[in-house]
Amino acid sequence: MTWGDVISLFFVLVLNPYGVVFTAVFLLMAICALIFLGVEAITMPYRWVVKTFYCPFRKKEVEAKLQPSTTTYRAYDDVITCSAFNKGKVTCKKKCLDLPELQT
C-alpha cells in the first residue's frame, strides 16, 4: 500500500459526503448496540417470572420465582424462590426446570 492509496482512502472515507455519512451511521449503530448490550447485561440478573404450578416432585401446588433463560435450551435458568420451602431457600435439585412447560 503506497502513500497515494492512503491519501485516496482518506479522501473517500473522510471528505466524500457518502463516506462521512456511512462512517457516522456505522459509529452510531455501534454505540447503540453497545448501550443495548450493556443495559441487558446489567438488568438480566434482576428479571424473573412468578409461576404457580403443580410440582410432581413435591406433589403439591407451588409458587416459584424463576429466572428466564437467555442462552440455554430451557425456558428458565434458575429457581430463585419456591413456596415449597419454608424459608424460601431452594434446596432441591431444581428438576422442575427440565419440565417441558410449567402449567399455570
pTM tops 0.85, yes or no: no
CB-based contact 89:80 (threshold 8 Å): no
In degrees, rounded to 5, the angle at the alpha carbon of residue 55 between the alpha carbons of residues 53 and 59 is 125
Per residue in 35-91, pLDDT (tens digit) is 999 998 888 878 888 888 888 888 888 888 888 887 777 788 888 888 888 776 788
